[in-house]
């Protein structure tokens, strides 16, 4: 937990669910989101670039790192949004985007997040909302490498009329 001032405690979450542009845009619309940044996580390559990740040689996923105020939005609510904005049943693919960098993953930062993510995934599986098996990985967070500046808040910069999925 990060403490910005005496009264405001901030937590962090990291999700991968396909191209990070739309994922970031959807999370940024939620009340209680303090900041977001897109980047790369889960690979074996230090300080990767977009070109490196697209080469399929780094093992990184495109992801969004979210700082949030848990008094306004909970980690459980973020998980609910995560499940609603992508198809967690397609392995290494979201829509036309194909490759391991587009995998569905929850990168947990502590055991509490791991437990919540696992419970949330089990709840989704039990709901039969998805006709196929959920392939979302739930893995410990590793180094998060911020993507190039032009990727940050890409949708907002390019499309003032974007309507999020939520």
Residue 161 has pLDDT above 60, yes or no: no
pLDDT of amino acid 166: 45
* Distance set, CA 31 to CA 35, 67, 78, 146, 151 (Å): 11, 12, 11, 23, 22
Which residue, chain included where needed, has tokens 């390019």?
158
pLDDT band at 27 (very low <50, low <70, confident <90, very high): very high
Output the pTM of the full model: 0.89
Q: What is the rounded CA–CA span in Å between residue 159 and residue 156?
A: 5
Which CATH number is 2-158's, of 3.30.420.40, 3.40.50.720, 3.30.1060.10, 3.50.50.60?
A: 3.30.1060.10
Q: Which spans in the chain are helix H?
A: 20-28, 50-54, 75-84, 111-127, 154-158
pLDDT band at 91 (very low <50, low <70, confident <90, very high): very high
Structure tokens belonging to residue 125: 């599986």
Active site residues: 19
Q: Residue count of the chain, please give it.
A: 166
């Amino acid at each position: 937990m990060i403490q910005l001032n005496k009264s405001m405690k901030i937590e962090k979450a990291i999700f991968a669910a396909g191209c990070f542009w739309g994922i970031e845009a959807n999370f940024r619309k939620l009340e209680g989101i303090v900041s977001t940044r897109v980047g790369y996580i889960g690979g074996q390559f230090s300080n990767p670039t977009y070109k490196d990740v697209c080469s399929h040689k780094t093992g990184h996923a495109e992801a969004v790192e979210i700082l949030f105020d848990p008094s306004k939005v909970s980690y459980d609510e973020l998980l609910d949004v995560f499940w609603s904005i992508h198809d967690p049943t397609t392995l290494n693919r979201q829509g036309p985007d194909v490759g391991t960098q587009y995998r569905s993953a929850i990168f947990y930062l502590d055991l509490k997040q791991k437990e919540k993510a696992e419970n949330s995934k089990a709840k989704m599986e039990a709901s039969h909302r998805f006709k196929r098996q959920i392939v979302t990985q739930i893995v410990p967070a590793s180094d998060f490498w911020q993507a190039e500046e032009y990727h940050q808040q890409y949708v907002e910069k390019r499309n003032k009329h974007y309507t999020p999925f939520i």
